[in-house]
């Protein structure tokens, strides 16, 4: 197609919705969706925490099998099951396997899709730090660092929860968790809109007594 001036017209980049629609029509995506639906259906039969780990591992195998597709079928149902696996009453093995599954998902969908879908993918992730074991905490901080702190302006909808989690990590004074949390807060202060960042910090200071001291120190 050519413009009125005779030159070739520029091709407009596809929106995420248009890109996703193309993937949905892919025959491989239909197989992906069917296998994911089958994996999700298993969760209702879980009798013990070991069942959850097996179901999560099956989900991971499916995600790896279709790694070339940057979209997730039934993403809200997937997010719901992952959120349930972050319950504080479950052992760290379930939490670790859940975070590994999030890592697979976030790495494949990319920053733009994650920013668009923050509302359901972040449910339960930030509050996990409060009751996370020492094995889980570094993995959780890795997830924050790789996929949330780097979102720039896209992080704004989840800033209150992310800042609260990082201030909670600052409780471990003298530990690697404290230092990593401070570095991530510093990066958010640089890269996210400063007004939104400061609003999140002040919100934590005013409404969360458990992190008030850390917020004041920061």
The Cα 203–Cα 191 span in angstroms is 19
Residue closest to 168 by CA, chosen among 204, 138, 206, 121:
204
**Is residue 13 very low, low, confident or very high in pLDDT (cuts 50, 70, 90)?**
low
Instruction: Enumerate the domain spans of the chain.
Output: 18-124, 126-218
Q: Are 162 and 195 in contact, with CB atoms under 8 Å apart?
A: no
Q: Where are the alpha helices (DSSP H) in the chain?
A: 16-24, 27-42, 49-65, 75-84, 92-116, 118-121, 128-131, 136-143, 159-169, 176-191, 194-207, 212-217
Its pTM stands at 0.89
Average pLDDT for the chain: 92
pLDDT at residue 6 is higher than 60: no
Mean pLDDT of 3-12: 45
Taking 60 as the threshold, does the pLDDT of residue 21 lie above it? Answer: yes
The burial class, CB within 10 Å (0-12 / 13-18 / 19+), for 47 is exposed
The position carrying tokens 């949905």 is 24
Q: Residue 103 and residue 100: Cα distance in Å, rounded? A: 5
Q: Is 3 exposed, middle or buried (0-12, 13-18, 19+ CB in 10 A)?
A: exposed
pLDDT in tens, 42-64: 999 999 999 999 999 999 999 99
Separation of alpha carbons 99 and 97, rounded Å: 5
**If DSSP codes are grouped into helix, strand and coil, which group holds residue 86?**
coil
């Amino acid at each position: 197609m050519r413009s009125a001036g005779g030159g070739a017209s520029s091709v407009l980049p596809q929106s995420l919705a248009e890109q996703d629609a193309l993937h949905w029509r892919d025959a491989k995506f239909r197989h992906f969706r069917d296998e994911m639906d089958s994996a999700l259906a298993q969760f209702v039969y879980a009798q013990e925490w070991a069942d959850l780990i097996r179901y999560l591992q099956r989900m991971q195998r499916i995600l790896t099998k279709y790694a070339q597709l940057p979209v997730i079928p039934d993403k809200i149902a997937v997010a719901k099951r992952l959120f349930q696996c972050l319950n504080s009453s479950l052992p760290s093995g379930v939490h670790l396997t859940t975070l590994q599954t999030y890592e697979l998902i976030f790495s494949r969908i990319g920053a733009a899709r994650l920013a668009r879908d923050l509302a359901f993918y972040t449910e339960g992730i930030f509050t996990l730090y409060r009751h996370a074991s020492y094995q889980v905490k570094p993995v959780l901080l890795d997830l924050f660092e790789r996929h949330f702190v780097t979102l720039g302006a896209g992080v704004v909808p989840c800033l209150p929860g992310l800042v609260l989690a990082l201030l909670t990590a600052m409780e471990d004074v003298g530990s690697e968790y404290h230092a990593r949390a401070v570095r991530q807060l510093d990066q958010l202060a640089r890269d996210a809109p400063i007004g939104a960042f400061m609003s999140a910090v002040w919100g934590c200071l005013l409404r969360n007594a458990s992190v008030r001291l850390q917020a004041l120190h920061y």
